[in-house]
Amino acid sequence: MAADGTTAAGTLAAPVRAVRTARTPRRPWDRWTSHLILASAVAVIAFPLYYAFVISTQTLSEVSSLPPRVLPSGHFLENYATAWQRAGMGRLLFNSAVMALSVAIGKIVISILSAFAIVYFDFRGKTFAFWMIFVTLMLPIPVRIVSTYEVISSLGWVNTYWGLTVPLMASATGTFLFRQFFQTIPDSLAEAAQLDGAGPLRFLWSILLPLSKANMAALFVILFVYGWNEYLWPLMITTTAEMRTAVVGIEALVPRGGSQLPEWNVIMAAAMMTLLPPVIVIVTMQRWFVKGLIETEK
Amino acid sequence: MKRAAFRNRWLPYALLAPQFVIILVFFYWPAVDSLRLSLYRASPFGDRLIFAGLSNFERLFRDAAYLRSGVTSIVFAFAVTLLGLGLSLFLAAMANARIRGLTIYRSLLLWPYGIAPAVAGVVWLFIFNPSYGVLPYLLSFVTSYQFNWLLKGWVALALIIVTAVWKQFGYNLAFYLAGLQAIPASVLEAASVDGAGPVRKFFAITFPLLSPVTFFLFTLNMTFAFFESFGIVHAVTQGGPGDATSLLVYKAWKDGFQGLELGFSAAQSVILMIVVIGLTALQFRYAEKRVTY
C-alpha cells in the first residue's frame, strides 16, 4: 500500500551485487544445503501447478485411480477442447482480457493525469484532493459491497464492460507512484520546456511520458494481474454467462455435491487456461514485475 | 514538495476530474451510503427502509453466526500470516549462505503471485479431494482419520489456509531472502568470533534486523487474508461445511446478495471498514517508526 514499505521492499531490487562482495562461503557444504533448501521450496511451490497440469491431461478413470498418478497422460487436447466448449472459455478469457487491459491502462492514465496535476500545478484544494485520493486506500470493495452494486445498477451498468472496468480505474497507489517519480525529475526540465514555449500538456506528452515508461511497464504488470484475478467485483457486477470473467466462471465448474463423478480433468484444464495469462505476463515481464512489486507493494 | 511549474486556472482540475468522478461515484458515495444503510432495516414487505438506529450492530454482536465468522476470520488471518511468515523466514535463514543464482530462485518463487486465489483454491481442492486427492491418500498411510473437508469443518479451514499460505509463500520467501542479503556480514562474523552459535545469532541479530521486512509482510499478509481471500471461499468451500469457513467478507457478501438483508450487510461492511482503517494505521505507525534501526 502506501508511503513506506519501499524501505523493506527496496531490498528486493539488487540482491546479487551484495552477494558477491559480502562474504564468500568458506564451507561448500553450506552452499549445497542452501541450494537444496531453495530448490525444495521451489518444488513445493511448483507441485500444485504441475499436478493440476497432470490431471488436465488424464482421462477420468486415470484421475480417480489410486494411488494417484502423477505423470502426464495423453488426453491433453480433448480435455482442453471439452473445457473450452463446456465453460465457454473463449468468451470468459476474452472478458478477462478486456477487464485486465482496461483496468490496467485506465488506472495508469488516470494516475498519471492526477499526479501531473498534483506535482506541477498550484491550485486551491490541492492538499484536500491529495487526501481524498489517499483515503480510497481504506475503501476496498468489501467495505462497500451492497451500496456499490446499487450505484452500478442505477447507472444500468450491470452486465456491461463499463460496469466491469470503469469503477476500478481510480488508483491511489498509481497516483502516489507517479507523484513520487515526478518529484525526482529536475525542475530545470519543466523550466526549459517553458522557455521553449511548450505548454503543460506538451510537456506531459513529450517529456514526462517518455521518462515514465519504466514506471508504466512496472505498474502495468501488477495491475494486469490485479484486473485479471479480481473476483468479488465481476461476481457482483455480472449475472450472465456471457459477461463473466474466467476466474469467476471457473466456480461454475466446481462440483457441489451431486452424484455424478466430477470431471476434474476438465476443471483443471479450465483452471490452467485461466491462470496462465497472468503468469505468462509476470514471467515474460519479470524485470518490470519486480520493479512493480517494489514500488507499489500493493 | 516540488516548486509548481505551470500556471493555469482550470487545467489541474480537469486533469484530476477523471479520478474524482470515479472516486466520488464509486468509492465515497457507496461508502457513505453503507454507513447510512447500516442504520436502516427493510420493512416487512421489503418495499421501503425503516430507520433502525444501531439495532443492526446490536444484532451483529448477538448473532452467533456473525461472531463465529469473526473468530474464523481472525484464526484464518493469523494462521495464514504466522504460518506463512514463520515458514518462509525459517527457510530463508537456513538457506542464507551466499550462493549464486539468487535471481533465478527469485523468479521461480515469485510467479504464484499471478495466480488468482480462487483458481489456487480449485487446484488445492483437488489435492484435498477425500476420495482420490493426493493429500488424504498420503495421510492414509499415517492415520486412519478421515480428512474429508466436506464433513469436517477444521479440514475445510485447513484447506483454505493451506491455499492462502501456498499462494503467499514464494513472495514472503523472496522478500526475506532479499532482506537477509542486506544484513552486513561483518556483524554476523563479529558475533561468531564472540562465540555465538547459529540460533543465538538468529535471535540476537538476524531477526531484529529483519523486523522491517517482517512488519511489512505482516500487514501485507493480514490484508490479503482479510480482504483478498474471498475468491478462495466462494469458489471452493462456499463458507461450508456449515459455516466453518464463512469469513467476514464472504458473510457480508452472502447476507447482502443472497439474503438480501441490505442493512445487516451494510453494518458488516462498516465493521470491515474499521478493520481496514486499523490495518492502515498500523502500516503508518511503521512508516514513522521504522521498527528497529
Per-residue pLDDT, averaged over A173-188, amounts to 92
DSSP state of A72: -
Q: Which tens digit of pLDDT belongs to each residue from A28-40?
A: 677 888 888 889 9
pLDDT at A210 over 90: yes
- Measured CA to CA, the distance from residue A291 to residue A216 in angstroms comes to 10
Instruction: Label residue B239 exposed, middle or buried (CB < 10 Å: 0-12, 13-18, 19+).
Output: buried
Measuring CA to CA, how many Å separate A39 from each of A11, A254, B108, B111? 22, 32, 9, 15
- Measured CA to CA, the distance from residue B250 to residue B156 in angstroms comes to 15
Q: Where are the domains of chain A?
A: 6-25+88-296
Q: Are strands B49-51 and B40-42 parallel, antiparallel or unpaired?
A: antiparallel
Amino acid at B221: N
- CA-nearest residue to A269 within chain B is B123
> Minimal Cα–Cα distance from A195 to chain B, Å?
12
Assigned C-alpha cell, B284:
503508518
Comparing C-alpha atoms, which of A263, A274, A280, A256 is closest to residue A75? A263
Assigned C-alpha cell, A142:
468489501
- What is the structure's pLDDT at A16? 42
- Tell me which residue in A15, A111, A251 faces B102 most closely, judged by beta carbons: A15
- Please name every residue paired with B74 in a beta bridge, in sequence order, or none if there are none: none
> Domain containing B117: what range?
63-289
Evaluate whether B117 touches B164 at the Cβ level (below 8 Å). yes
A138 with B277: Cβ contact below 8 A: yes
Assigned C-alpha cell, A116:
501531473
DSSP H helical segments within chain A, as ranges? 6-9, 15-21, 28-55, 60-63, 76-86, 89-120, 126-135, 145-154, 161-165, 172-183, 187-195, 200-203, 209-211, 213-229, 232-237, 246-249, 264-284, 286-296
Per-residue pLDDT, averaged over A31-59, amounts to 90
**A26 neighbourhood in chain B, CB within 8 Å:** none
More confident site: B280 or A165: A165
- Measured CA to CA, the distance from residue B162 to residue B267 in angstroms comes to 30
B133 with A7: Cβ contact below 8 A: no
Comparing C-alpha atoms, which of A137, A267, A161, A291 is closest to residue A213? A291
Domain CATH code at residue B259: 1.10.3720.10
Asked whether residue B197 is domain-assigned, the answer is yes
Label residue A1 by pLDDT band (50, 70, 90): very low
Contacts of residue B21, Cβ cutoff 8 Å, sequence gap at least 6: none
Asked whether residue B35 is domain-assigned, the answer is no
Asked whether residue B268 is domain-assigned, the answer is yes
CA A63 distance to own-chain centroid: 31
How many domains does one find in chain B? 1
Q: Where are the beta strands (DSSP E) in chain B?
A: 40-42, 49-51
A15 with B177: Cβ contact below 8 A: yes
**B13 neighbourhood in chain A, CB within 8 Å:** 117, 123
**B273 neighbourhood in chain A, CB within 8 Å:** 138-139, 143
- Tell me which residue in B12, B91, B216 faces A121 most closely, judged by beta carbons: B12
- What is the structure's pLDDT at A18? 43
Q: ipTM score here?
A: 0.89
- Measured CA to CA, the distance from residue B139 to residue B40 in angstroms comes to 50
Per-residue pLDDT, averaged over A16-37, amounts to 63
Comparing C-alpha atoms, which of A247, A262, A266, A298 is closest to residue A104? A298
Q: Cis check for the bond before B18: say yes or no (omega within 30 of 0).
A: no
- Measured CA to CA, the distance from residue B31 to residue B37 in angstroms comes to 10
Contacts of residue B197, Cβ cutoff 8 Å, sequence gap at least 6: none
Instruction: Give the Cβ contact number of residue A102 at 10 Å.
Output: 18
> Minimal Cα–Cα distance from A95 to chain B, Å?
15
Instruction: Give the Cβ contact number of residue B124 at 10 Å.
Output: 25
Architecture in CATH of A6-25+88-296: Orthogonal Bundle (1.10)
For residue B6, the SS3 value is strand
A142 with B269: Cβ contact below 8 A: yes
Interface of B with A in 139-168 (CB under 8 A): 166
pLDDT at A178 over 50: yes
Question: The pTM is what?
Answer: 0.90
A229 with B129: Cβ contact below 8 A: no
A15 with B185: Cβ contact below 8 A: no
**A235 neighbourhood in chain B, CB within 8 Å:** 234, 253
Measuring CA to CA, how many Å separate B26 from each of A125, A166, A191, B33, B159? 21, 9, 37, 11, 34
Asked whether residue B108 is domain-assigned, the answer is yes
**B178 neighbourhood in chain A, CB within 8 Å:** 11-13, 15
DSSP state of A12: G
**A236 neighbourhood in chain B, CB within 8 Å:** 253, 257
Local confidence pLDDT in tens for the 293 residues of chain B: 456 678 888 999 999 999 999 999 999 999 999 999 899 887 766 677 888 888 889 988 999 999 999 999 999 999 999 999 999 999 888 887 677 788 888 888 888 889 999 999 999 999 998 888 888 888 888 888 888 888 888 999 999 999 999 999 988 998 998 888 888 888 888 888 888 888 888 888 889 999 888 998 999 999 999 999 899 999 999 887 888 999 999 999 999 888 888 888 999 999 999 999 998 888 877 665 544 43
Q: Which tens digit of pLDDT belongs to each residue from A255-288?
A: 776 556 688 899 999 999 999 999 999 999 988 8
**A110 neighbourhood in chain B, CB within 8 Å:** 18-19, 22
Asked whether residue B230 is domain-assigned, the answer is yes
Looking up cell 511503521 gives B286
Evaluate whether A38 touches B174 at the Cβ level (below 8 Å). no
CA B89 distance to own-chain centroid: 18
Determine the longest span between alpha carbons in chain B, in angstroms. 79
Q: Which tens digit of pLDDT belongs to each residue from A68-118?
A: 888 888 889 999 999 999 888 999 999 999 999 999 999 999 999 999 999
Interface of B with A in 41-60 (CB under 8 A): none
DSSP state of A121: B
Kindly report the length of chain A: 298
- Tell me which residue in B111, B181, B290 faces A11 most closely, judged by beta carbons: B181
Q: What integer best gives the mean pLDDT of chain A?
A: 86
Evaluate whether A208 touches A182 at the Cβ level (below 8 Å). yes
Evaluate whether B231 touches B116 at the Cβ level (below 8 Å). yes
Per-residue pLDDT, averaged over A43-50, amounts to 92
- What is the structure's pLDDT at B76? 96
Asked whether residue B231 is domain-assigned, the answer is yes
- Measured CA to CA, the distance from residue A204 to residue B172 in angstroms comes to 37
For residue B40, the SS3 value is strand
Decide if B112 touches A, using CB distance below 8 A.
yes
- What is the structure's pLDDT at A259? 56
Asked whether residue B110 is domain-assigned, the answer is yes
Number of CB pairs, chain A paired with chain B, less than 8 A apart:
358
